[in-house]
Every structure is written in C-alpha cells, then in structure tokens.
Structure 1
Amino acid sequence: MFKYYIALGISIVTEIAGTISLKLSREFTQFSWTFLSIAAFLIMLYSLSYAMRVVPLSVAYGLWSGAGTVLTAALDVAMFRVSFSLGEILGLMMIVVGIVSLNWSGEAEEEIDYESLQVDEKMNVKS
C-alpha cells in the first residue's frame, strides 16, 4: 500500500512542477519550460493512474487536487510574489480541512487489502 501513496506523492510533485513550468513557458514560447511542463504532466498522469489502482478514488483525487492547489498557491506567493486576499486564504484553508477529513475517512478503508483485491480482479478477468 505504501508504494501507491509514494506514487500519489510523485503525482502531486510533478503536477506542481508541470504547472509552474507551464507558467514559465510563456504560452509555449520557451521551449525548455514547455518540454519540462509536458514531461511533468505525463509523469503525473502515469503516477496518478498507478496510485488509483489501490488508493480509493475519492482519497487519491482529493489529495492530488487539493494538495496540488494549496502547494501551487504557496509557490506562487514564494516565486512570483503574488499576494492573496483574505477570501483566497480562507478558501485554501478550507481545502486543507477537506484533505484532512478525506484522509480521516479513508483510514477505515485501509483495513481492506486493496492490493489483493486488485490481484483477484485480474485473475477473474483472465478466466
């Protein structure tokens, strides 16, 4: 199960790298940033799809989109000196609360051995 959460972490990091690179590509006029953006998004898609083999969809997508949004916003402030209004900060805090609540609700599901379920499903499909 741990390797699937590592894949989810990789998908979050590469999504952030792809998004920052997309901004730096200046509408695809900077080739190196454009290439990095496309490569990062491809790695992100593969990692996310790998994680979703075992991690429940609601938890995987919630973590990926929520953490990606919050961390990208934090990097926007740090790298590009963007300032946020109080409403934007409260919105980001609500996303964090949502991520935490998704993880708490997902803890009960961790008792289920999703890896073995995936193997069983593959065996049934081949039969």
Structure 2
Amino acid sequence: MPYLFLALAITAEVIGTSLLKYTDGFSRLWPTVGSLGMYGVAFALLAQTLRTIPVGVAYAMWSGLGTAAIVAIGAAFLGEPLTVTKVVGVSLVIAGVVVLNLGGAH
C-alpha cells in the first residue's frame, strides 16, 4: 500500500508541475488552483508514504520518477526538445533511484 500512495503522490506532483506552464506565472486562476491543489494532494500522499518507507528512498523515487515523467510529458505534449543529453541524464537519475531503492528499502 505505501508504494501505491507513493505512485499516486508522484502522479499528483507531475500533474501539478505540468499545470504550472498554464498558470502564466500564477496569473490564470483555474490552472493555478489545479496546480496548487495537485501539490497539496501530492504532499498528503507523500506524508502517508513516509509512515513506512524511509524518507531517503521515498524522496529519491518521488524526485527521480517525477523528473523522468516531466521530461517525457514536456517532449510529448509541451513541444520541448528531447536531446541525447536529456535522455542520458534521466537514465542516470532512474538508475540512481533503482540503486538507492535496492539498497535502502530493506
């Protein structure tokens, strides 16, 4: 169950971050409300996750997988270029998350 909460927290954070582009510097009401609301949901779910998963492991997964998802969303939907450097960087982040999870989850 804690990994489900973490997956949902990452999803909420990714949605909130994706909406940031549409807030226009927090000058548009509904994208701003959506973004801040998703961040609230994300932090609430992350807090539940931290009851059982160590904070270092949970945060590494949160930040690494969230970063990878945002890069993919940016390339697929927001017209951002996907370069070899980005792919290598995200691959290294994911590899770090996997190593940390394997070594720190037990």
> Shorter chain as normaliser: what TM range?
over 0.9
Q: RMSD of the alignment, in Å? A: 1.1
Match of 1:36 in 2: 34
Deviation, structure 1 residue 98: 0.7
Cα distance in structure 2, aligned partners of 1:84 and 1:21: 20
Structure 1: gaps (5+ residues): 110-127
Task: Name the counterpart of 2:57.
Answer: 59
Structure 1 stretches of at least 4 aligned residues deviating more than 3 Å after TM superposition: none
**What TM-score comes out, normalization by structure 1 length?**
0.79
Partner in structure 2 of residue 116 of structure 1? none
Instruction: Give percent identity, aligned residues only.
Output: 28
- Give ranges in structure 2 of 5+ residues lacking alignment: none
- Larger Rg, first or second structure (1 or 2): 1
Matches within 5 A, 1:1-127: 3-107=1-105, 109=106
Q: TM-score, normalised by structure 2?
A: 0.93
Q: 2 CA distance for matches of 1:106 and 1:17?
A: 27
Identify which range, 21-30 or 36-45, moves more after superposition.
21-30
* Alpha-carbon distance in 2 for matches of 1:98, 1:77: 22
- Equivalenced residue count is 106
